[in-house]
Structure 1
Amino acid sequence: MFKDIPSTSVSDALQGKNHMSYEIKPIGDFHLSGPAFTVEIDEGENISVLEAMYKAKPGDVLVVDGKGWTENAVAGDFILNLGKTLGLAGIVIDGVIRDIKGSLALDYPIFCKGTTTCASKKTQKGLIGVPIVCGGVTVNPGDYIVGDSDGVVVVPHSEASSIREQALEKISVDEKRENSVGQDVDAARKYIEDFLIKVEKNIVL
């Protein structure tokens, strides 16, 4: 539903809501979209990450509430490649990974807080297919995840069609503005002047 739609346009349609922490960024240059398959784990665990990969459907985005833990990796390149092999659209982790060189070589959408050298723990199972919090945002199973170099946003499933249409309209408006103003000095000055007048009249605030 959100294929190739920038996260910024989706964010605008959501009126700036539901964006994950700026710390969760892609490992590489990717656009990610798809329905969320959620998993909540204890800090540094990954038993339930593997179970979630097994149960998720191709095209799902695995979204992991790793509690923001940065001491242990939630996954390394081998486990991340399992997700790719099983057809998951990508993985979003509120935590860190390891084996960065191998993970980059996968050419696969992985979004996380960074990397560490320390392996995951395997002593405690988590919860699968439940509402979670990832990057400060509530994610329900089936919500749409949209991510790229600017970050990750979460679109509630019930609002997906409306948000998609608003995002596409925003793209159209932005393209028309760029075409009419972007390369014309006089038009650019006029645009700024009109904007400042609106600010003074409290029209755009």
Structure 2
Amino acid sequence: MPVVVTDIKRADPQAAKALAQYGVATVHEAQGRTGLMHHRLRPIYKGAVVSGTAVTCTLAPGDNWMIHVAVEQCQPGDVLVAATISESHSGYFGDLLGTCLKARGVTGLILDAGCRDIRDLEALGFPVWSRSISAHGTVKEVLGDVNVPVSCGDEIVRPGDVIVADDDGVVVVPRLQAGAVVAASQARVEKEELARAKYQAGELGLDLNNMRGRLKDKGLTYLSQAEWETGQ
């Protein structure tokens, strides 16, 4: 039976908002290289960065009805995550739905299907990460679910999880781990700032990361050009 769950538990809003400053790559690394959606989900325009709590919905092929249903369940700071039950590249989402979601304070859409009205959505300032871009229209006939766990971009997203998205892609942070991932991301940023200063001072990654011994153990050999040419 298709359902709409109306009272989902969301991740801590401060933690969800804070994760945006770290970006997808840092968050992904900080939580043990987990949660990264498939690279097929790409931003429809460059420069957008969002993080927020997930409202989820499932969609039938070529049918965007449940996006309209899901809009009502969205709150300020949410990110809508929409997944089709089988592969589809129709244009499920455009500027009218973007206007509707932005009016409710939704920060973005993750759509494992097609998106259209790209220029209008960019002008509106409503970011979408989609599987494809297509003008092909959809119908409103088949029911799905809202606020149940979904598979989007080959990652499981549960309602209330945190979604972080930028030019590098999309990453999912489990709801109950959001605070810990904020702390781990900050620690990673501080570590990288120290490394960056050393790189700027001329140090090499080979030395900074103690790589030389491991490279030697694996058999890497350095030769002069004359040695290489003579086979020594």
Using the size of structure 1 for normalisation, the TM-score is 0.90
- Supply the distance in 2 between the matched residues of 1:125 and 1:141 (Cα, whole angstroms): 18
Partner residue in 1 for 2:210: 194
- Supply the distance in 2 between the matched residues of 1:131 and 1:162 (Cα, whole angstroms): 22
Secondary structure of the structure 1 residue equivalent to 2:142: coil
Partner residue in 2 for 1:6: 23
- Supply the distance in 1 between the matched residues of 2:209 and 2:33 (Cα, whole angstroms): 25
Partner residue in 2 for 1:44: 62
8 A Cα contact 1:69 1:96, kept in partner: no
List gaps (5 residues or longer) in structure 2: 1-14, 219-232
Partner residue in 2 for 1:128: 146
Based on CA coordinates, which of the two structures has the bigger radius of gyration? 2
- Supply the distance in 2 between the matched residues of 1:176 and 1:158 (Cα, whole angstroms): 30
1:32 to 31, 50, 59: 50
Q: Could you tell me how far 1:26 is from its partner in structure 2? A: 1.3
8 A Cα contact 2:60 2:86, kept in partner: no
187-196 or 30-39, larger mean C-alpha shift: 187-196
The verdict on how the C-alpha distance between 1:188 and 1:99 changes in structure 2, with shifts beyond 3 A counting, is same
Report Cα offsets for 1:79-116 as digits up to 9, x if no partner. 12211121111111111111122122122221111211
2:92 equivalent to 1:74: yes
Q: Could you tell me how far 1:189 is from its partner in structure 2? A: 6.2
Aligned residues: 200
2:201 to 184, 187, 198: 184
- Supply the distance in 2 between the matched residues of 1:189 and 1:41 (Cα, whole angstroms): 47
Counterpart of 2:28, as a letter, is S
Overall identity of the aligned pairs, in %:
26
The verdict on how the C-alpha distance between 1:193 and 1:32 changes in structure 2, with shifts beyond 3 A counting, is closer
The verdict on how the C-alpha distance between 1:70 and 1:171 changes in structure 2, with shifts beyond 3 A counting, is same
8 A Cα contact 2:39 2:169, kept in partner: yes
Q: Could you tell me how far 1:66 is from its partner in structure 2? A: 2.2
The verdict on how the C-alpha distance between 1:70 and 1:104 changes in structure 2, with shifts beyond 3 A counting, is farther
The verdict on how the C-alpha distance between 1:121 and 1:174 changes in structure 2, with shifts beyond 3 A counting, is same
Partner residue in 2 for 1:116: 134
List gaps (5 residues or longer) in structure 1: none
Alignment of 1:55-94 (within 5 A): 55-67=73-85, 69-94=87-112
Report Cα offsets for 1:166-189 as digits up to 9, x if no partner. 1110011011100122x233x126
- Supply the distance in 1 between the matched residues of 2:91 and 2:118 (Cα, whole angstroms): 11
Q: Could you tell me how far 1:71 is from its partner in structure 2? A: 3.3
2:39 equivalent to 1:22: yes
CA RMSD of aligned residues (A): 1.9
Using the size of structure 2 for normalisation, the TM-score is 0.80
Q: Structure 1 or 2: larger strand share?
A: 1
Counterpart of 1:15, as a letter, is G
